[in-house]
Structure 1
Amino acid sequence: MRPDDFWGALTAAERDALRAVARPRTFAARTPLCLQGDESDHIIVIESGWVKVASSTEDGTAVVLAVRGPGDLVCESAVLGARHRSATITALSAVRARVVPAARFTAFLDANPRVWRLVSGTFVRRLDDADQRARAHVAVRGDQRLALLLAHLAELSARHAPPAPDGGVDIAPPLSQQELGSWMDASRETVARGLNRLRQEGLVRTGWRRITVVDLPGLIEFAHRPADEEE
């Protein structure tokens, strides 16, 4: 796991202490790890696999907010804020994790104050990431919003697996076109058209629930291309 994730940032002693109060658990794909509105009774550290974070609107529409992967801490904000879950976290693939009851996790943090700072840093980074993506999505076309999202997912995926010999980066979280559209506030049809455009530009390859970013710098350049260059 990478050193900039929660688990990777812990010392060996901190990991041992956290393992001592955790229980291992596996989740099959499409299984919820925690549900929006539930009581906050545990946190989870992902060891392997990917999950999506989604929040349901008043009309029942599920909006994808983020994905988390190996080494990430999830279900923690409600526990530390003593409130109900604000989102549902669902396994996108088979997930192996460590589950820590809320009281044991807060006791672990009290005994390891350095980790409190790590958790606070995680909150701040996630808020910054969400804010940057929201601002970047203003006044850009659907295919550019898709390019921004795929660039983000490619950079995330590359932290866990090296690029292919040809430089291609497989998007690791197995997101459907519907889920990508939900994340970028667009329809499935917009995503399909965007993928077609990115394929024509030679920036991505696609297959069944599989997207490979062929040219990451080119994808980022496309995402920020001024509108007058499209004319």
Structure 2
Amino acid sequence: MTQPPPTDRPTTPEPPGFWDALGAAERAALRAVARPKRYAPRTPLCYQGDDSEHIVVIESGWTKVTSTSEDGRDVVLAVRGPGDLVCESAVLGRRERSATVVALTPLRALVVPASRFTGFLDAHPGMWRLVSGTFVRRLDDADRRLQAHVSAHGARRLAILLTRLADLSARHVPPDADGGVEIGPPLSQEELGSWMDASRETVARALGTLRAEGLVRTGRRKITVVDPEGLRAFARAPERSPADSFTL
């Protein structure tokens, strides 16, 4: 049976992050109630299950969002980068945090106590809509991930993920002279596998397929999308024959 094509392709450019969408007055007001902080790689910004005490605005660097499954595995749910708001859903929902956020790279951020952040939003009512829009986009991201899991396997599923990451990375670093885009978040093959619900070996084989197609170039924790449009077309192509595809 022919699988339906994934609906992962963005139809509009990546929207700006929370910080980038603020005006000068809002940025000044938020800085006034925030504490600047730096995080080393692998340092948690917040923990799954903790009570809500603060939100974090990333100024520079990348994080991964993970959740611990019932069998104790850490599952990668998303990455967040410069300008993004993290650790916020539990604060606004007044519940325990549903995920852990960990720095992938050296990180510079603004940490805002929960009460001061809600006070900032009350003083700038237009910001509530901005935060709500952030939630909606993240629900859309979750829907795209689910559709990719249903409609694609192996190399195509990885292509869908890398296309999304390339779009996100290009928001912060322009493509190189040949049009290639270096993936910003330095994710390992194991982390990519966790995100796409596959083994590290499946990711390695899928990367081999994409390299052979001339779509990506790889190094240690480094992936460059050499041909972004070609990768997007590969991600949306019908499934290949079982001999040429990798099932999970």
Q: Could you say which TM-score interval applies, normalised by the shorter chain? A: over 0.9
SS in 2 for 1:55: strand
Q: Deviations over 1:118-168 (max 9, x none)?
A: 000000011012102211331322110100000100110011001111111
Among candidates 140, 149, 154, match of residue 142 of structure 1? 154
Unaligned runs of 5+ in 2: 1-13
Secondary structure at the counterpart of residue 98 of structure 2 = coil
Separation (CA, whole Å) in 1 of partners of 2:240 and 2:231: 18
- Could you tell me how far 1:112 is from its partner in structure 2? 0.7
Which residue of 2 is the match for residue 36 of structure 1? 48
* Corresponding residue for residue 219 of structure 2: 207
Q: How far apart are the structure 2 equivalents of 1:187 and 1:111?
A: 47
Q: Deviation at 1:228?
A: 5.2
In the alignment, residue 234 of structure 2 is paired with which amino acid?
Answer: F
Question: What RMSD over aligned residues (CA atoms) do the two structures have, in Å?
Answer: 1.4
Runs of 4+ in 1 over 4 A off after TM superposition: 228-231
TM-score (norm 2): 0.90
Residue 133 of structure 2 corresponds to residue 156 of structure 1: no
Q: Which runs of 5+ in 1 are unaligned?
A: none
Could you tell me how far apart the structure 2 residues matched to 1:155 and 1:171 are?
Answer: 9
Cα distance in 2 for partners of 1:3, 1:121 equals 10
Q: How many aligned residue pairs are there?
A: 230
- Match in the other structure for 1:118: 130
| SS of corresponding position for 2:65 | strand
2:98 equivalent in structure 1: 86
Question: Which residue of the partner structure matches residue 178 of structure 1?
Answer: 190
Matched, 1:198 2:233: no
Q: Higher helix proportion, which one?
A: 1
Q: Deviations over 1:198-222 (max 9, x none)?
A: 0000000001111000011111111
Corresponding position of 1:10:
22
Match of 2:115 in 1: 103
Q: 1:133 aligns with which of 125, 129, 145?
A: 145
- Residue type matched to 1:162 in 2? P
